Each structure stands twice: as C-alpha cells, then as structure tokens.
A and B are shown apart, each in its own frame.
Chain A
C-alpha cells in the first residue's frame, strides 16, 4: 500500500538528486500497482459469472455501441431507432450521451488497427475497470495539487481505487455512463485547480475540453457546471479575486459552454435552462469584477469609490430587471423535475412517480455511507478541517465540493458517486498528515524544524545539515527567530516518544488493512452481481446459476418473428432490446410518461380493458417477471404498485391505487386480495396455472409468503407462450381476434364446454425448444 512511500530517511539513496529520481520511480510503480489493484478488484463478476453486460441501462449502451461499430459514426449520430417505444420510435442519436459509446468504439478501432481484434463485448465489459485505473491516477494528481505531502496523493489514489462507493458503478460489465464519467469528473477538477493555480489559458482550455468530454458522457455534468462557478463566486466573495481566476474561469466558460453545445442532446440548454444560469451569472460577475479592478488601477481611490457606487447601482438594477423580465416571459426554462427532487425530497413522490419509482433516486440510508466508504467517512471531516487550516484557492474548492456533495449524496443514493472522490481526497489528506507526523523515525529536532520551516519532502533536506551540533543550533535559531510571530498561530509540535509513534502507526495500519478487507468483501458480495444472471448456493455450498432471464430472452429471439412487439414493464425494455432483439413498447429511457402509463394501465386493468390497448399498440407478446416460485423479490408484483400509480397519474378515474389495497390497507395476493387486484392482467399473468405446480390448495407465493386461492386465475385474451425454468419470466402471446367474431370470454367458455382437456396443457410451447 501507499505506506511505503511516506518518508523513509534511513535509506541513503533517498537524498539529493538520486533521491528525487528514486522517489519518482517508486511513485510511478506504486501508482501502477494501485491501478492494477483497482482493475483487479472489479473483476469478481467476470470470474464468478462470465464476461457479460450487467443490469439494465448497460444493455442499451451495449446495443448502441454495437450499432456504432457496425454502421459508423454518422449513422450513429443520425440513428432513429424504430425498435423501441413501439409506435413512436426514438431519435436515439439525439437523445443520448454519446461519450461512452464513442470511447469504446474508438478503443475498438484502435485495437483493430494494432492488429488486436477484440470482441466489442469484451471492450464494453472491461471499460469500466480500465477507467477506474485512470481515475486512481487522476485522483493522485488532484490530491497532489491540494497537499504538499507526497503521500496524500498516493493514499487518495488507493482509496479511490478500492472505495466501494465508486466500485458500485464500475465493476466489470457495468457498462454505464458513470464508468468513464467519474474519471472525467476528477480529471476536470484537477485541470481546473491547475488552471486556477497557474492562471494559464492552456489549462483553462484543457479544462473546457475535458468538460466537453464529460458533457458528452454523463448527465451529471451539471454538477461541474455549478460547482466551478460556485468556487469562483466564493473566491470573489472572500476577496480572493485574482487575474488568474479571471483567466481560468472565463476561458473555461467560453470554451466549455461551446463544447457542451456540440452534443445534440444538450443543444441550447446551456443558455436556456436554469441549471446552467449560475455559470453564466458568474461569468458576467467576473467580467465586472475584472473591469472594476482595471478601473481601480487607473483612478485615485476617492474617484474610484464614486464610480463604483454608481456602476453597482446601474449593473444590479439592470441585471435584476433583466432576470425578472426573462423569468416572466418564460425564456429561461424552469428547473427540471429531477433537479427539484434534489431540493425537496418529497417532490418527486407527489408530482412525478416515475422518478420516485427508480430505486437509485431514493434518499440514502445512513448505513449506506459506512457501507460504501467505511473508515473514510470519519476521516472525511478531519480532511475538510485540514483544508481550513491552510485555506488557499484550491482548499476552498475542496470545502465547497465536500459540502455540496455530502448534501446531494444524502438526497439521492446515486449521487454517492460524486461524493466518493472528495471523501477519498479529504481522508487521504487527513491520513497523510497523521502518517507524516508519526511515521518519521528520526529525532524530534528534525521534526520541529521540518514542520516549522517547510513541509516539503520531509526529513532529507534537514538531515543533510546534521554535521555538527552547532550548525543545528544555528539553524534552529534561524528557523525560530522569524517564526516567533507565526508560532503563535501554529505552535511547533513534535512527537518524541517511540511508543506513541509505533502505537499510532500500528493502529493506522490496522485500520487500513481493515479498510481493504471491507472493500473487498463489499465488492465481492454486494456489487458484483450482474442481476441478469442470479446465483444461489446449494445446500452443499456449491454455486447454482439461475439463468432464467437469458433463457427467456433467447426464447424470444429464436421463436418469435423479428418484428414481434413485446410489452413489458419499462425496467426490462433495454434488456429485451439488447438480448432478445425485439421491439418494445417502453424502456428504461423514461422520456414519455404517458406511454409508460399506458403500459401500466394495460397491466393493471381487467382483461377486457387491456385487450383493446394491446391491440392498438400491436402487442404480440407480454412479458412478466414473477419471483413467487423462487423467492425472487424484484418481480413485477412487487413493482406493481408503481405501475398503478403511474397509470393513475394519467387516468385518475379509471385506475385507483386504493382499489388494490384491502379494506385494512394491506397489499395482498391471497384469498383476501381485492377483486380489482385479482382481475388485473398482471396478477392473472403472474399466477396463471401456478397452483398446478402444487398439491391442491397448497400453492404458496414465496416472496410474499402467502397462500394463494385454491382456484387459479383464468386468462381469455392472452395465452401462455413460455415460462422459464424457475418461472421467473413468463411470456404470453396476445390472441388474435376470434374467427367467429365472438369476444374472447365467450370463445373461452365455449371451448371449455366442449374440450376440457385443453387447460391441462401447462407448458405447451416448451415443445418448440428443439435446440
């Protein structure tokens, strides 16, 4: 671990010029090791399962990447996808963040150019781990700008490499925007700090370029868009305005805004939406401040004050009037709903059920902080405090970032991701301070001169001067005499006893080891499941793979027409598109609430109501996820209330959430379930024929732990087409109109009267699987 790099004065070649080279080399080796560790710890899922794309959104990204690689960049840019949102289609090229796909596409072509043809799927699976190595490196650079201690950067890199808060979104196979976005986030911040420190156009322009890349990669770029102006604004308010700030901020804003507008999905948002107005406002403010500084230089003080007073009135009057005018005329778009839910956590639940229904938009539970960050979470405040002790421009940035990110992380689980970098940096600063103080084995004199005169590379520089005692005395005197004033501010403190040194160093080492253990444990247990493939342990301890999802999707792929439309709840839209390659009605890109509500209505209404809806949307197959047999809790019956709520939002008089609860307010599926519930299409499809698996009257639902009614539901408008091995996925075929013009209920009754045998054919279509 990074402990090795903290000062090591015993070694003779750690001095002078060779010492610097050695340390540089060591640092490089350590960084490479950290990157390797970061990559390695994300490979659990590949080793345990296989090289497979995870979860939901990554399937879309994967599909888009395949399209990009197959059809080229321009076709991708203009891609109109008629296989999603069935009757509507989606202008995919203009409504996605293309950064991720373009990145993996260019890696693919680069590798082919180097005569290493690697399957695009493997590139997609391993992209996130590869970028996590880069993130560790970027964190090192970022922290090195903050702290003079060389160990801080390395510690931060280690933390960033293995902190579960970041691993949760970057294990192998989770091919999501966040995979590259966190690297870009940290690197943009590094460039920004560099720009503010140096005040050069080049660094500002690089910040803008990486900001543009970030915009193309993740919607979370708004965080940068607001954080950098806030930093600039706070600096101005603190009276820390400097020409360097002007150069870096204006360069970043002018170039970065243009860069962000190149992405079709973002388009004119940077000058339209309120999310971006802060940046524009600070841009204006900084121009004013710069001009004021310029004028102040030209004028004597008294005249300047007069002018200042006049212009302040003028500008603020004008700006305020302009703002009121623009808001009244509605030119500036109101804040987006997802943003409102950041301020008022109850907002989404009331107004936009579709946002609230996503589990990662829920507020964070407190244990999650400890789970994701372990000991970093209590080192974090200490690190922020350290920033206050030497408050320069860059430390102000850390403080602001810390405050904002902790608030946001508390509001939305997903934003834990933006908190993780700053926690790692702050914790590393605190920890490196401890290590620098307690790990120096040399005598306290060294320590005291060291801390008072310069905190730079530790003991070696002072160790040179230990020729004789007098020289040290002189040096000490020289060091102390100008320090008499400063020492009142920060008294010279040294650790004298070896006992306390070894005690603290040992304790910290133990903590670090525990941290590594915790991270590995969390990664392997909590974050490495693809959720497409489930794993369970058999009684003898061996692993049993439950592969129902892929079984069902491949059934669709093999046995249905390529244009057969599949209706499923939106969670499974991307997977159906990616794995089964069939058109879907709704998917995880939840841009059209009404369309989703339509599917919700079809699922939660009686068959007679649902059938016309399905006919209108040309639905051929309906797919439901049912975990009752296996005890798989993420199934559709558990998500059912969200379907009802979203549908109720559009048709409040046809669907009522209340009807799905019993008179005592319980959500039940057994004998006492309400008639509305038992007649809903979703309920019927989930439990159709389910009691045939059990002895009479014994059917139980293992998720909800309840006994089901003796008589199972009857289906008339759809027929069972496929049920996977563990019944997790059930696919139904929508019946065509009856040949004799009867409705399906009558036809069903007629058939029953004649041929009773027909109902006994439980898994009929299974015969079709002949592979």
Chain B
C-alpha cells in the first residue's frame, strides 16, 4: 500500500518541477543563485534539442531573459516571484521527502503539498492580477481587491488543509 500512495503525485509535479528549472534563472531573489542555475536550464533544454541548437544559443536565451526580467519587472512583482520560488522549493522538498522517506501519514503529506501548490497558484494569480501588463484583462479588479481576494482564497485553502491534516 505504501509505495502505491506516493506515486499519484508525480502526475501533479511535472508542471511545477519543469517550471522550477525555467523560472529559477528568471526570478531567484539572491544574486548568487542565477549564476549556476542558467547553466542547468541550458543543459536540459539543449540536451533535448541538441540537433537544432547548441548550448551557447540556449545560454544566450537564458541570459537575455534574465536581463529582460530584471529591467522590466516592478519591485512588488519581484517580491511575489521570490515567494513563488520559495514555495516551489518547499514543494519540491516535500515531494522528495515523500519519495525518499515514504508517505506514511498520507493525509499530512497531501495537505502539506496541496497547501504549497495552492498557495503557489494563488500567488501566481495575484501576480497576474496586479501585473500592469495584464491591465486590459482585469479592469474591474483593483490592486486592493486583488489582495483581498488573495487573502480570502488563502484562508479557505489553509482551513481545508488544517482540517485535512488529521
């Protein structure tokens, strides 16, 4: 029973784990991290499309992306991004722990993991709503409203998680 329980989550993780590889170069808060991370992105994407592009090209893309991001993004959005990266790291850690150490209190693992995923998603939504780039889509939603919604959603999320944790 125990080994079975851990597996369903891999279906959940690919999006976020792949995202982890891509988003880290662009949004890590610490200046030390981006130095080594782009290379990992470069190798992973280059390995799959090695026949088309070489590693240097991929690195160029990553660097371009990073510069673009640093230049254009407002400070508040960067803060949100840092939080999202933190959530990603926590989520990956939880998952790795589940794979290595087993998922015995499955309820606990599940509620912890869904709390991370849910919070990530809510933060991403908040980021999307408050991003000036998306102003056209969210005319009716002010920044204060978006934040209030975010708090509302988070409260529901954590209520369910606490209730589910056993």
A contact set with B: CB distance below 8 Å: 198-202, 204-205, 208-209, 242-244, 246-247, 250-251, 253-255, 257-259, 261-262, 268, 271-272, 277, 280-281, 283-285, 287-288, 290-291, 295, 297-300, 303, 306-307, 309-311, 313-315, 317-319, 322-323, 325-326, 329-332
Across the interface, do B124 and A201 meet the contact criterion of CB distance under 8 Å? no
Partner of B140, one of A198, A250, A253, A325: A198
B96 CB, min distance to chain A CBs, angstroms: 16
Across the interface, do B164 and A326 meet the contact criterion of CB distance under 8 Å? no
B140 CB, min distance to chain A CBs, angstroms: 6
* A258 with B126, Cβ < 8 A, contacts A199-B141, A251-B121 known: no
Q: List 13 A-B contacts (CB under 8 A).
A: A199-B137, A244-B138, A250-B124, A251-B122, A254-B117, A254-B118, A284-B11, A287-B15, A287-B16, A300-B64, A303-B61, A309-B49, A313-B48
CA distance A199 to B157 in the complex (A): 18
Partner of A326, one of B10, B18, B134: B10
CA distance A124 to B12 in the complex (A): 41
Across the interface, do A322 and B14 meet the contact criterion of CB distance under 8 Å? yes
Across the interface, do B106 and A202 meet the contact criterion of CB distance under 8 Å? no
Partner of A201, one of B11, B150, B164: B150
Residues of A within 8 A of B7 (CB): 326, 329, 331
Partner of B122, one of A209, A254, A299: A254
Residues of A within 8 A of B110 (CB): 261, 268, 271
Partner of B48, one of A202, A284, A285, A314: A314
Across the interface, do A306 and B138 meet the contact criterion of CB distance under 8 Å? no
Closest to A330 in B: B4
Across the interface, do A295 and B22 meet the contact criterion of CB distance under 8 Å? yes
B contact set with A: CB distance below 8 Å: 4-5, 7-12, 14-16, 18-19, 22-23, 26, 44-46, 48-49, 52-53, 57-58, 60-61, 64-65, 68-69, 72, 106, 110-111, 114, 117-118, 121-122, 124-126, 128-129, 133-134, 137-138, 140-141, 145-146, 148-150, 152-153, 156-157, 160-161, 163-164
CA distance A602 to B66 in the complex (A): 75
* Secondary structure class of chain B's binding surface, majority of residues: helix
B79 CB, min distance to chain A CBs, angstroms: 16
Top-7 shortest CB links A-B: A201-B149, A254-B118, A284-B15, A331-B7, A287-B15, A250-B121, A258-B160
Closest to A313 in B: B48
A623 CB, min distance to chain B CBs, angstroms: 40
Across the interface, do B125 and A262 meet the contact criterion of CB distance under 8 Å? no
* A311 with B164, Cβ < 8 A, contacts A243-B137, A329-B7 known: no
Closest to B148 in A: A202
12 more CB-based (< 8 A) A-B contacts, given A244-B137, A254-B121, A271-B8? A199-B129, A201-B150, A202-B149, A208-B156, A258-B164, A261-B110, A268-B8, A280-B11, A287-B19, A288-B18, A309-B52, A314-B44
CA distance A309 to B57 in the complex (A): 14
B129 CB, min distance to chain A CBs, angstroms: 7
Across the interface, do A199 and B114 meet the contact criterion of CB distance under 8 Å? no
Residues of B within 8 A of A310 (CB): 45-46, 48-49, 52-53, 58
Closest to A317 in B: B48
B11 CB, min distance to chain A CBs, angstroms: 6
Closest to B129 in A: A247
CA distance A421 to B68 in the complex (A): 49
CA distance A735 to B48 in the complex (A): 78
Across the interface, do A315 and B14 meet the contact criterion of CB distance under 8 Å? yes
Across the interface, do B18 and A257 meet the contact criterion of CB distance under 8 Å? no
Across the interface, do B137 and A242 meet the contact criterion of CB distance under 8 Å? yes
CA distance A298 to B131 in the complex (A): 14
CA distance A262 to B145 in the complex (A): 29
Residues of B within 8 A of A253 (CB): 121
Across the interface, do A258 and B52 meet the contact criterion of CB distance under 8 Å? no
Across the interface, do A323 and B117 meet the contact criterion of CB distance under 8 Å? no
CA distance A295 to B69 in the complex (A): 10
B68 CB, min distance to chain A CBs, angstroms: 5
* A306 with B125, Cβ < 8 A, contacts A202-B149, A268-B106, A311-B22 known: no
Residues of B within 8 A of A309 (CB): 49, 52
CA distance A527 to B95 in the complex (A): 53
A477 CB, min distance to chain B CBs, angstroms: 31
Residues of A within 8 A of B23 (CB): 291
Residues of A within 8 A of B4 (CB): 329-331
CA distance A739 to B66 in the complex (A): 94
A73 CB, min distance to chain B CBs, angstroms: 14
Closest to A332 in B: B8
Residues of B within 8 A of A255 (CB): 118, 153, 156-157, 160
CA distance A17 to B152 in the complex (A): 34
A288 CB, min distance to chain B CBs, angstroms: 6
Residues of A within 8 A of B26 (CB): 298
Across the interface, do B160 and A318 meet the contact criterion of CB distance under 8 Å? no
B49 CB, min distance to chain A CBs, angstroms: 4
* A201 with B146, Cβ < 8 A, contacts A271-B8, A298-B65, A306-B52 known: yes
Across the interface, do B153 and A280 meet the contact criterion of CB distance under 8 Å? no
Across the interface, do B152 and A202 meet the contact criterion of CB distance under 8 Å? yes
Between B8, B68, B148, the greatest number of chain A beta carbons within 10 A of the residue's beta carbon is seen for B8
Partner of A307, one of B16, B45, B124, B125: B45
Across the interface, do B164 and A247 meet the contact criterion of CB distance under 8 Å? no
Residues of B within 8 A of A287 (CB): 15-16, 19
Across the interface, do A314 and B18 meet the contact criterion of CB distance under 8 Å? yes
Across the interface, do A199 and B18 meet the contact criterion of CB distance under 8 Å? no
CA distance A258 to B161 in the complex (A): 7
Residues of A within 8 A of B15 (CB): 283-285, 287-288, 315
CA distance A208 to B160 in the complex (A): 11
Across the interface, do B14 and A318 meet the contact criterion of CB distance under 8 Å? yes
* A201 with B8, Cβ < 8 A, contacts A254-B114, A288-B15 known: no
Across the interface, do A201 and B125 meet the contact criterion of CB distance under 8 Å? yes
CA distance A247 to B110 in the complex (A): 22
Residues of B within 8 A of A290 (CB): 124, 128
Across the interface, do B69 and A298 meet the contact criterion of CB distance under 8 Å? yes
